[in-house]
Amino acid sequence: MNLRLSTAPHVHHPVTTQRLMLFVIIALLPAAAAGVYAFGLPALLVLCISMASAVLSEFLWQKIARKPVRINDFSALVTGLILGLNLPATAPWWLAMIGSAFAVIIVKQLFGGLGDNFLNPAMAARAVLLASWPVHMTNYVAPTFFDSSIDAVATATPLVKPGTQLMDLFLGNIPGTIGEVSKAAILIGFLFLLITKTIQWQIPVVMVGSVALFSWMFGADPLAAILSGGVLFGAVFMATDYVTNPMTPWGQAIYAFGIGLIVSLIRQFGAYPEGVTYGILLMNIATPLIDRFLPRKIYGHQKEAKKA
Amino acid sequence: MMKKTFKRGVHPLHSQHGGKAPTRNLETREYVSDTVIISMAMNIGAPATPCVKKGDQVLMGQVIGNANGFVSVPVHASVSGEVIAVDKIPYLGNEPVMAVTIKNDFADTWCELKPLGNVEQVDPSLIIPAIRDAGITGMGGASFPTHVKLTFKEGAKCDTILVNGAECETHLTADHRLMLENGRRIVDGLRAAMRATGVEKGIIAIEDNKPDAIQAMKKAAEGRQGVYIQALRTKYPQGGEKQLIEAVTGRQVPAGKLPLDCGVVVLNTGTCAAIADAIIDGKPLISRITTVTGCVRTPSNLKLRIGTIVEDAIGACGGFSQEPGKIFFGGAMTGICIPNIYVPMAKSTNGIVVLNEKEGKSKEESPCIRCGRCVAACPIGLNPYLIKVAADKSDFEAADKLHVNDCMLCGSCAYACPSRRWLTPSFKFAKDKLAAQAKAKGGAK
């Protein structure tokens, strides 16, 4: 008999990093399916390329850097899928590839790998692609729904134009990136993440509420503001990235509120039509500050303990 | 009645009988082994000194080890028979401990007992000395001498004695069975402690996963002066002293201080029953209920004589049902591993849990993904992920600044961690290092 000795605890919650990532992938599937349904096979191709190159980049980097290969934690797959969903269906193959490689190698691995990156990899990659190839990145077409009688029409902006119906916005009958078009599909994913306790409600709810509040204050239609662009997709799948958001519920609320403010400011007063990417990235940067300076009550300490 | 609880925490093994062993509906049965090995170091503080020698005949309840100073208790023979060894044995810690081995003659001849009678009538000043002489220590796991706990320092104000019937640990059902089968004894012990200290209010706190125990204790407490039952919402680590106080009274024990500093004393249910035995019957603490479960053929709650060897206790439960991979005393969240099955159980051993090969394997760590589950679990309100970074770098000063010394090693963070980080072991290491540093500094002065 060979008895093991170890320090307690001797049991663990069944959830693992791998399973959490898998839950995120499952939650993304409705949005991905809606995107492919709306934009056809090119959308599927973009998603496949971005996922494959994300996983391959991670594998190659970890081999070259002689680190343990951890592609089986599925985190690279999540990054690839999210980036793909953030591209227009018309994106050329190399755009998806460069984006994924940049996300995984530059944003994630160079800063220490999973858990050590201070920016959301997919978001940062999208920002870089947007700055480098703005034409490819904003080449949005109207959904064709596999109907060949509809010509793919290039449109200028994914944001709401006068005359767009809210129902169209909700169901995805609008031009936009692959993942963000169908709000219904995103909400299904959100529910799945909540039920499986993969994420808490704070970040998505506060962020969407904050966008509505500030759009209303700046004189826009709050409901249209929520349903257009990447607000819902960003709130559910990108702002909730564990690594780059604060650790406490209150910290997360501040973070999400800040994203809503920045998004509304950019949309209303900035040169860019869309601000979700920069809103999330800027608050990613603020995350360590929030974690550091948000006071926490520690059991048995009279004053709120100051953190080191 | 409103159910109370504390902040944060976890629900370990909630899907499997609410984390409990299949023993909760099984009546306690007595098991007496052929030989007992009684350790002299079963309490926090100074170990006892053996006062018998090899070849002596001892009676059940006879003192075999004398207390050394105030924070120490005497040790008694748990069987009658012949002393066959007085020697050092390897035990759970690094250092071997002194132990007396007695061969049981199965006559169970008691030594002369000095009962004090009804707890409501006994002279209160006799109670605390009797508790000390009966060798009673905290039976929930910490083994702090009970008479020390009940001896208040000058100016200390205590208004409540809490009886810990939370039993929040996984697997264990020993306290549960005690409450069902011997509730009156717990109330008697509580009343004795209240009268000895002059405290007016006694609250027996029980988690709501034991509704039968709540009912039984309510019945047992009927008509008893100042005794109340409080239901708690089930959550780990509710049975931690600090969490229990927070849950029931809403107070917090000041950092680095004792429960008494916020006017509360906490006693375990088993400790209360032992107090009652000592006062009413004059019997010292020589047996206790222990849950033996996991990979054994018939998981049971056994009433064991102190010093029963693990091998015998497992044999009394039909032996192993699978190849054991890990055995620990206590529940799965804070249990202490035993190196082999030849060690004896002690006064604080509330459970013997056997895990199989697969369950016993340590999990491999993967990178922290900052998911915040440790922060959401920590009942103290610490940032386990940050302390772990500091501890891994051996930066104990930083760990200290992050309040690692407020960590009570409950294991909630490590339980919740999806990356299987060894949080609690790192914190234990950091705390030990800091304690050693503080000691070295104190010595230098």
Here the CATH number for the domain that contains residue A283 is: 1.10.3430
Alpha carbon distance B420, B130 (integer Å)? 47
* pLDDT interval class at B245 (50, 70, 90): very high
Question: What is the DSSP secondary-structure string of A43-98?
Answer: HHHHHHHHHHHHHHHHHHHHHHTTPPP-GGG-HHHHHHHHHHHTS-TT--HHHHHH
* pLDDT interval class at A301 (50, 70, 90): confident
Q: Is residue A112 part of a domain?
A: yes
pLDDT(A122) > 90: yes
Q: Cβ–Cβ of B170/A307 closer than 8 Å?
A: no
* pLDDT interval class at A164 (50, 70, 90): low
Here the tokens at position A102 are 């940049």
Largest interatomic CA distance in chain B: 63
pLDDT(A156) > 80: no
Say how many CA atoms lie within 13 Å of B404 toward its Cβ: 29
Number of independent structural domains in chain A: 1
Strand-strand pairing, A154-155 and A140-141:
antiparallel
Spacing of C-alpha B80 from chain mean position = 26
Q: Is residue A305 part of a domain?
A: no
* pLDDT tens readout for residues B315-329: 999 999 999 999 999
Of A9, A73, A296, the CB nearest to B415: A9
Cite the residue boundaries of each domain of chain B with CATH code 3.40.50.11540: 17-25+118-281
* pLDDT interval class at B337 (50, 70, 90): very high
Tell me whether A73 touches chain B (CB under 8 Å): yes
Of B254, B335, B337, the CB nearest to A4: B337
What integer pLDDT is reported at residue A269 of this predicted model?
A: 87
* pLDDT interval class at A159 (50, 70, 90): low
Question: How many C-beta neighbours within 10 Å does residue B112 have?
Answer: 8
Q: Is residue A199 part of a domain?
A: yes
Q: Is residue A306 part of a domain?
A: no
Tell me whether A118 touches chain B (CB under 8 Å): no
Q: Which domain holds residue A278?
A: 17-293
* pLDDT interval class at B256 (50, 70, 90): confident
Chain B residues with CB under 8 Å of A11 CB are 12-13, 170, 332-333, 359, 415
Q: Is residue A12 part of a domain?
A: no
- Across chain B, how many H-helices and E-strands are there? 13, 17
Chain A residues with CB under 8 Å of B332 CB are 8-11
> What value of ipTM does the predicted structure carry?
0.87
Of A113, A243, A297, the CB nearest to B381: A297
What integer pLDDT is reported at residue B39 of this predicted model?
A: 93
Q: Is residue A233 part of a domain?
A: yes
Q: Cβ–Cβ of A4/B326 closer than 8 Å?
A: yes
Between residues 396 and 435 of chain B, which touch chain A (CB distance below 8 Å)?
Answer: 398, 401-403, 406, 409, 411, 414-420, 422, 424-425, 428
**CATH architecture of the domain with range B17-25+118-281:** 3-Layer(aba) Sandwich (3.40)
- One-letter amino acid for residue B326 of the chain: K
